[in-house]
Structure 1
Amino acid sequence: MSGKTVNSAILLLVIGNALALISDVFIKLLEGDSAVFQYAFMRCLITLALLLPFWRQIDTGHFFEGGVLHAIRGHVHLVGIVCMVVALVSLPLATANAVFYVAPILVMILSAVFFGERLTRWSLLAVFGGFAGILVILRPVDISWAALAALGSAAALAINAVLVRKLPARQSTVHKLFLNYLMITPVCLLLMLWEGAPWSNAVLLSAVGSSVFILGYNVCVLLAYRQVDANQITSAEYTGLIWAVLIGWWWFAEVPDLWFFTGSLMIVVPLLLIGWQQRRQPKTSSHEVADTYYHGAKAE
């Protein structure tokens, strides 16, 4: 699977999204009262260690270029990590992932507000359909802190996806990811100490598992988008929702209801239509590697 053909690139994205869902499973296996900040700190250390072998891709001569923006993105990402843990621990796997898919819709809105990008009729359909879909899935009577956390995670993903445009163009993805985690590690340490939770091997296992599998997802994304236009294969990203349903049903005995399927279609179908429209007007576009899944808004 070199990713050099459309079919192989699509297969890589399907596999990659499955790996990302396994990453989510490691988080979901945590207890409801697990130390969230301990998890965030361990996630930072493990990710930095996993990135060290790729040190040559980091421009050490301009290591802290764009540091302020990196710091902002990093701390937004930290909020997203915390929200993601709360959502995955409390919500059904498929429900949490469906809400995460609101991220690309928020990217459209933020891009229109801050960059003056024009929303097409398809984009507007995605925006209204997406938010209506979220209401159908969550239903106002069922709104909880976990549901709000899922929305918060999607918002963090969207903000970081928009802010990445302002980062120095010459910085590699590894460079951006490394700075992202490096800058939030001290804050994570302080929050962990403030949390005061006893050491947990379960949290460590969750952090290791989720970090390794999300790295596998990152590799698949890089290979898939390296030589194939994004508009030809992006729709394969939405197989993540299928994996969420299957893994949630098999592993956690979670059976999605009609509300979930209806709302998910309202979110995903307009995004697929946008991809179809873009495919009719091919253009080369770059794709940044993701950390956390972020699935939908793909930004590190």
Structure 2
Amino acid sequence: MRKILFTSGIVLAFLGYAFFSISDACSKGLAGRLDPFEVAFFGGVFGLLIVPLLKRPNESYRALVLSSHPWLWLVRAAAVFVATAGSVEAFMLLPMPEALSLMFLMPFFVTIVSVLFLKEQVTGWAWLSVLLGFAGVMIVLRPGVKALQFGHLCAIVVAMASAVSVIAYRFAGKETSRLTLYGSSLCGPLVGDGILMVQHFVVPHGVNEWLLLFGYGFLAAAGQLLLMLAASIAPANRVALPQYSQMAWIVAFSYFIFNQPVDMWDGIGIAVVTLSGMLNWLRQKIRFEKMLHRGWWWRRKPTPEVIAATPAAVITPPLEDKPHE
């Protein structure tokens, strides 16, 4: 039974990351048509559609904006605002694999924050995987050989903002409801991007633009919901591993839809970035197996290594308020 649940969790995670990839492709499809802030704003609007699925029967919709940790809520809202706006801009300006490989620097920034500001110990395994990922990104960028653009800066800012968001998730604690956590991820883009889009706002033209906007916002929200479902029935390290399937989707979209094939060096860099994630996953798999054997892994507070290896959408209260069996 446990094996079936774990398998189901992994399948849901793969599907969730596929939704994220399609969402990113939709945002790139709007390049040159709409302002990035407007796209990010409508992402928040269509993300409202899954709120009823997250709300518990006895829970008020006010939980979207009312938190027992208001400062953490605000930090996360600001971080998600920066990450959404930056990711739309990066995907619009850069080839998709290049943008995503830079965003995969998030574990590097999580580890740095954990060591410098939280004074926590990080193992050699974590440092090795992070440095390997950084090397992969450098291969993709090839500073001095390839001209760096504003899109590269946006992608790096996305990685930094995502790291802040993940750290805020951790400090929010398990007592924070998933509706509150999701509310901060909605209000950031709705308020921040809503203000910044005013100057360049244009009404989307035609069904095609509206479909792309809907695909961007709703699929991103649906992907987050699927990851929450996956995390409720499988350990976080199992749910985190399929994240790297995003790169396969992105490479395919870049080649077949946007006519931007990956060159040899980009391919090598992407492979190194993926290898770094696999290395971190292997370390966490071994650790989680030991915890599972002891029967208490679900009660343990996530360490910096777990946080660095786990997407923000996974570090949320499970959909069922009970431990795994």
**TM-score range normalised by the length of the shorter chain:** 0.7 to 0.9
The question of 1:173 aligning with 2:178 is answered yes
**Cα deviation code 1:184-239 (max 9, x no counterpart):** 5334332222x243222466443321121112312321232212222345322211
Of 68, 73, 82, 1:70 maps to: 73
The question of 1:48 aligning with 2:53 is answered no
- Kept in 2, the 8 Å contact 1:101–1:296? The answer is no
Structure 1 position 88, deviation (Å):
0.5
Of 127, 131, 136, 1:124 maps to: 127
TM-score scaled to structure 2, two decimals?
Answer: 0.80
**Cα deviation code 1:168-195 (max 9, x no counterpart):** 53122222111342355334332222x2
CA distance in 2, matches of 1:95, 1:183: 26
Aligned to 1:198: 202
Aligned to 2:263: 257
The question of 1:157 aligning with 2:162 is answered yes
CA distance in 1, matches of 2:77, 2:83: 10
The question of 1:92 aligning with 2:109 is answered no
Of 202, 209, 223, 1:217 maps to: 223
Helix, strand or coil for the counterpart of 1:116? Answer: coil
Structure 1 position 25, deviation (Å):
0.9
> Which moves more between the two structures, 169-178 or 55-64?
55-64
Q: Which 5+ residue runs of structure 2 have no aligned equivalent?
A: 292-296, 300-307, 314-325
- Kept in 2, the 8 Å contact 1:135–1:263? The answer is yes
Provide the alpha-carbon RMSD of the alignment: 2.6
> Counterpart amino acid of 1:239?
S
TM-score scaled to structure 1, two decimals?
Answer: 0.86
Distance 1:25 1:121, change over 3 A: same
- Kept in 2, the 8 Å contact 1:44–1:181? The answer is yes
- Kept in 1, the 8 Å contact 2:36–2:88? The answer is yes
CA distance in 2, matches of 1:3, 1:84: 36
> Counterpart amino acid of 1:92?
P
Of 264, 268, 276, 1:270 maps to: 276
> Counterpart amino acid of 1:149?
C
Distance 1:251 1:33, change over 3 A: closer
CA distance in 2, matches of 1:185, 1:145: 24
> Which moves more between the two structures, 161-170 or 86-95?
161-170
CA distance in 2, matches of 1:188, 1:245: 28
> Which moves more between the two structures, 23-32 or 117-126?
117-126
Identity of aligned residues (%): 23
Aligned to 1:37: 37
CA distance in 2, matches of 1:297, 1:228: 13
> Which moves more between the two structures, 62-71 or 242-251?
62-71
Aligned to 2:152: 147
Of 104, 115, 121, 2:118 maps to: 115
The question of 1:102 aligning with 2:102 is answered no
Aligned to 1:226: 232
Aligned to 1:135: 138
CA distance in 2, matches of 1:38, 1:6: 38
Aligned to 2:194: 189
- Kept in 1, the 8 Å contact 2:254–2:260? The answer is yes
Structure 1 position 23, deviation (Å):
0.5
Helix, strand or coil for the counterpart of 2:37? Answer: helix
- Kept in 2, the 8 Å contact 1:27–1:206? The answer is yes
CA distance in 2, matches of 1:71, 1:111: 20
- Kept in 2, the 8 Å contact 1:4–1:227? The answer is no
Helix, strand or coil for the counterpart of 1:6? Answer: helix
